[in-house]
Structure 1
Amino acid sequence: MTRPALVLEHEADAPAGILAEWAAERGIELEVFAWHGASADGGDPDPSGRPFLVVLGSEASAFDDAVPWLARERAVIDRALDLGVPILGICFGGQHLARALGGTVTRATRPEVGWLEVESLDDAVVPPGRYLQWHRDAFTVPPDAELLARSPVSPQAFRTGPHLGVQFHPEVTPAIAMSWATGYPESVDNAGTTVAEVEAQGDAHAADARLRAYALFDAFLGATSG
């Protein structure tokens, strides 16, 4: 019997969001493992027998080996890769996946915050348009991986086999974005935008971004069974 798909959550204010809604509509059961919560007290999660693994965003840096749970999560990712379990990495998760596959993660030339345009190089996987961005770090595309999307700041998506890493946040709802904007005002200021602008962009673009997110998740799911 197939186990639920495994979702690694790093902070309570960075949940699966639209991804969870998509999974419910597709009849996919998710098991959320919270590094920040009680689930981390019972040992590290096992990715074996899962249809896929999702690694969500985090305020931590994927290159910072002082992060207490980073090595433990890397072991989960490495085991999933060894087992052939498809991985979807989102923002920090995409960076951690890129690093596990031989890429690098460093500070970006500048942060990106807001509902920003992503240039797609493969519309079937990353529909072109605006997605919620919220990052100060950036990954390089791992060796032998395919670049799927980019922005003026950094690569935005890559694929290798069934694995997909994205720098933007397809899972984020306007409510989640506003919780970050009000909870991390320094991130907003450092990116040269405002809380009001994040809210206005969400009102204008979130509905279309949701459709693009569903298409991206469907493309990832299709590749896992291809």
Structure 2
Amino acid sequence: MTASSIAVLSHVPDPSIAVLRERAGLAGRDLVIYRAHLGELPDAGDHAAWVVLGGPQSAHADRDHFRPEVAALRDAVERNLPVLAICLGSQLLAEATGGRAHAGEHGLESGVIEVSSTSDAVPSGRYFSFHSDSMEAPAGAELLAKSERYLQAWRYGSALAVQFHPELDAAGFDAVLAFEADKLARFGVDVAALRADVAAPEASPTPSQRLLDSWLAGLPAHG
């Protein structure tokens, strides 16, 4: 553990973070995984930044379970620690900063989605998505991106929240689909068609790679 490393708060036993791991490696940053779903949380002073991942849990339905993590996130933002909050993580960040997580009004948003952005921090383009919950950003947040159905990105102080999944490659997204079979069935998703869309190649650097590179470049200098 070093002050230049990045804490990754996971909500599943074996998180799929291939793109994050690749881009962090290119930036010379080590990743330290915390099993947040088991109560493991970093101290805000131990790392240069945090990445808070998604997961199958619900930030609004499981509020009592998430109180310690929400409190830790609130403390991290108050300390001006850089935070990248992804999917469930973005909803937890909303709860931590005066916003609100809630059930999505437009059902399950899954597969590859088009994101329209107003900020270089979040390139417009195609991203992997899998969520049926959403959030209201806190008062004072800068809204950065949206899809046809949901708010997709916002910034609050030192924290950047994204509803989609820049950390995943196609294999990682396939692992999400296997994990979420019940939800896919409940929403009547054509999984074969979804997998075909996800498998379509995209020129590098992808929007996800560019987003992560931009965020990593903005972290405090090593040392």
Q: TM-score, normalised by structure 2?
A: 0.88
Return the alpha-carbon distance in structure 1 between the equivalents of residues 179 and 216 of structure 2. 32
Return the alpha-carbon distance in structure 1 between the equivalents of residues 26 and 143 of structure 2. 29
Q: Pick one of 55, 60, 66 that aligns with 1:58.
A: 55
1:116 aligned partner: 113
Q: Does 1:213 align with 2:195?
A: no
Q: Pick one of 103, 125, 131 that aligns with 1:129.
A: 125
Please give the per-residue CA displacement for 1:113-162, whole angstroms capped at 9, x wherever unaligned. 1111112222x122212111100100112211111111122110001233
Q: CA RMSD in A?
A: 2.2
Which runs of 5 or more structure 2 residues have no equivalent in the other structure? none
Q: Which has the higher contact order (CA 8 A, sep 6+)?
A: 2
The one-letter amino acid of 2:142's match is: E
- Whether contact under 8 Å (1:182, 1:195) holds in the other structure is no
Q: Does 1:75 align with 2:71?
A: yes
**Following superposition, which runs of at least 4 residues in structure 1 exceed 4 angstroms of deviation?**
none
Return the alpha-carbon distance in structure 2 between the equivalents of residues 180 and 16 of structure 1. 11
**Which stretch has the larger CA shift, 178-187 or 194-203?**
178-187
**Superposed displacement of residue 14, structure 1:** 3.2
1:46 aligned partner: 43
The one-letter amino acid of 2:174's match is: M
Please give the per-residue CA displacement for 1:20-59, whole angstroms capped at 9, x wherever unaligned. 111011110111101346xx5xx64212142111100011
Return the alpha-carbon distance in structure 1 between the equivalents of residues 170 and 84 of structure 2. 21
1:6 aligned partner: 7
Return the alpha-carbon distance in structure 2 between the equivalents of residues 46 and 210 of structure 1. 33
1:145 aligned partner: 141
Cα pair distance change 1:64/1:163, threshold 3 Å:
same
**Superposed displacement of residue 191, structure 1:** 4.2
Q: Equivalent pairs: percent with the same residue?
A: 33
- 1:125 alignment partner, SS class: coil
1:202 aligned partner: 198
The one-letter amino acid of 1:172's match is: L
**Superposed displacement of residue 66, structure 1:** 5.2
Return the alpha-carbon distance in structure 2 between the equivalents of residues 57 and 21 of structure 1. 18
- 1:72 alignment partner, SS class: helix
Cα pair distance change 1:212/1:157, threshold 3 Å:
same
Return the alpha-carbon distance in structure 1 between the equivalents of residues 111 and 188 of structure 2. 10
2:27 aligned partner: 26
The one-letter amino acid of 1:55's match is: V
- Whether contact under 8 Å (2:154, 2:161) holds in the other structure is yes
**Which stretch has the larger CA shift, 124-133 or 185-194?**
185-194
- Whether contact under 8 Å (1:13, 1:179) holds in the other structure is no
2:98 aligned partner: 102
Q: Size of the alignment, in residue pairs?
A: 219
- 1:144 alignment partner, SS class: coil
The one-letter amino acid of 1:153's match is: R
**Superposed displacement of residue 82, structure 1:** 2.3
Cα pair distance change 1:106/1:117, threshold 3 Å:
same
**Superposed displacement of residue 210, structure 1:** 6.1
Which runs of 5 or more structure 1 residues have no equivalent in the other structure? none
- Whether contact under 8 Å (2:27, 2:216) holds in the other structure is no
Return the alpha-carbon distance in structure 2 between the equivalents of residues 117 and 97 of structure 1. 23
Cα pair distance change 1:208/1:108, threshold 3 Å:
farther
